[in-house]
Structure 1
Amino acid sequence: MPGGHDAGSLVRNVLQSLEDLKAEEILSIALAGKTTIADTMIIASGRSNVHVSAIADSVVKACKEAGIETPRVEGLPHADWVVVDAGDLIVHIFKPDVRRFYNLEKMWGGDRPSEDLSDMRRPS
């Protein structure tokens, strides 16, 4: 895999970092075959700007541990919505009100008639 990382370990590291930082409503969406932007999208919420920022820092650290040297980060320092782009994985971390407004789950999930809801997975 390019960059010397394993996509499975990247996703596992990021999901673990989200759980460790008590991110809320974590959702993983398989994008492979639907778009070329990434293979997986993870969406999570933080309770406040400070929480969102801390979660984003933890996600960046998890990406680096999985071999992604420089994931791109957008949305800091405001931290209403932070996006971490790790190539094959994109992580969106929202404050709850911003997440409801943008509703990415609807865009990438069940309201797309050609999509299968079984592609949406909640981590256990």
Structure 2
Amino acid sequence: MDSKELLKMAVQAADGRRAEDITALKVDAITPMADYFVIMTGGSNRQVQAIANAIIEAAHENGVDIKSVEGKQEAQWVLIDLGDVVVHVFREETRHYYNLEKLWSDAPLVDLGEWVKE
């Protein structure tokens, strides 16, 4: 699975659990860490965990090697490292505090319109 297919898988799994404000940044030109960062918000700790679980489940179903999962128990900021795609699932206040979109503002946004239900 290439990085764009991996991105699509993560976005669709998150959208299926009603993740809010899903944003993807194409970071491959500015960091060797990953090709994409995906940032999203869950409305409660339980929803953050459900979104993370849906992404992890989709990865397992597609034979994707998960490098690490951090923060799932606390559910304020769950980081799921899928290799070429790093997923950040935040509670709203934690997302605003860390403001990754501003930190990585040199990275172009990815149009997710075809993968996310309105």
Q: Give the structure-1-normalised TM-score.
A: 0.85
Using the aligned pairs only, state the percent identity. Answer: 35
CA drift at 1:71: 3.7
Conserved in 1, the CA contact under 8 Å of 2:20 and 2:41?
A: yes
User: 2:56 is aligned with what amino acid?
Assistant: V
User: SS in structure 2 opposite 1:45?
Assistant: strand
**C-alpha distance after superposition, 1:22-53 (max 9, x if no partner):** 00000000011110110000000000000000
Q: Kindly report which structure 2 residues correspond to 1:93-112, keeping only aligned pairs within 5 A, or say none.
A: 93-109=89-105
Unpaired runs of 5+ in structure 2?
114-118
Q: Which residue number corresponds to residue 33 of structure 1?
A: 29
- The structure 2 residue matched to 1:88, chosen from 84, 90, 96, is 84
| Alpha carbons of structure 1 residues 90 and 63: separation in structure 2 relative to 1, 3 Å | same
Question: Residue 18 in 1 paired to residue 14 in 2?
Answer: yes
CA distance in 1, matches of 2:35, 2:62: 16
User: SS in structure 1 opposite 2:33?
Assistant: coil
| 61-70 or 91-100: bigger deviation | 61-70
Conserved in 2, the CA contact under 8 Å of 1:10 and 1:62?
A: no
Computing the radius of gyration from Cα coordinates, the structure with the larger value is 1
CA drift at 1:122: 4.0
Q: Give the structure-2-normalised TM-score.
A: 0.89
Conserved in 1, the CA contact under 8 Å of 2:34 and 2:83?
A: yes
Conserved in 2, the CA contact under 8 Å of 1:26 and 1:122?
A: no
Question: Residue 66 in 1 paired to residue 55 in 2?
Answer: no
